[in-house]
Amino acid sequence: MGSLLVVSAHAGDFVWRAAGAIALATARGDRATVLCLTYGERGESAKAWREGNSLEQIKQIRREEATNAAKALGAEIEFLDAGDYPLVESPELVDRIVRVYREVVPTVVLTHPLVDPYNGDHPAAARMALQARVLAQAVGYEAPGEPLGAPPVFFFEPHQPEQCDFKPNVLLDITSVFDTKRAAMECLPAQQHMWDYYTDLAKRRGVQVKRNAGPNLGLPHSTMGEAYVRLYPQVTGELA
Ligand SMILES: [Zn+2]
């Protein structure tokens, strides 16, 4: 059985960018775990602030929304409440992430790209996700569980891909689970403006899935996609 770990800076990020991959994983019986480093309480909750909620109320709102979205996807979810805007990198926080790796034992890891001039929390989350992965592999690193293997890491698509040097080299066909992704998105009313944006993006990526798959696969006109960048080389005994 596979185990997918998604390291998300804020409570909503995993939904827009990776819900298709998560839903595909759980649909085939794999375990999927979302690790939200923060609730996105300061930086990605403008509507809740304008409605006059307190910081603690906003955290609770975002926690509930993200929990519902994870449930819609069949995923487990964990929050570290590390504080956003800014998300501060620290050895203590990396150590907490190492412990999640050792418990979840991921066979695949998804996180943010390392460049995002619009949002410093996203690359910070990615740096910590990568550092924790390396530490979790070390036999001598003191944390419960066994040393980690070498799960591949994929960066999911940022909101402004061109500015983030995001050039996809993996296109994921999410057609069979797109309704589930849409249902997860609709669990986040605080960011309602994103629902149609990410539906349209999935259509455009779907066109690219079809184009790159070629005509022989006979993918339907309605193909939906998500784009990823694979960080480490793929290991294979056969080029295909
Ligand atoms: Zn975010």
Distance between Cα 9 and ligand 1 center (Å): 6
pTM attached to this predicted model: 0.97
Provide the token pair at 82.
Answer: 């590390």
Nearest-angstrom CA–CA distance, 109 and 23: 14
Distance between Cα 23 and ligand 1 center (Å): 20
Q: Are the beta carbons of 237 and 215 closer than 8 angstroms? A: no
Distance between Cα 158 and ligand 1 center (Å): 9
CA 158, 160, 165, 171: dihedral to nearest 10 degrees? 50
Going from the C-alpha of 60 to that of each of 82, 88, 227, the distances in angstroms are 14, 21, 31
Distance between Cα 162 and ligand 1 center (Å): 17
Distance between Cα 47 and ligand 1 center (Å): 15
Distance between Cα 12 and ligand 1 center (Å): 7
Distance between Cα 216 and ligand 1 center (Å): 38
Distance between Cα 97 and ligand 1 center (Å): 18
Residuewise pLDDT in 10s, the chain (240 residues): 999 999 999 999 999 999 999 999 999 999 999 999 999 999 989 999 999 999 999 999 999 999 999 999 999 999 999 999 999 999 999 999 999 999 999 999 999 999 999 999 999 999 999 999 999 999 999 999 999 999 999 999 999 999 999 999 999 999 999 999 999 999 998 788 899 999 999 999 999 999 999 988 889 989 999 999 999 999 999 998
Burial of 127 (0-12, 13-18, 19+ CB in 10 A): middle
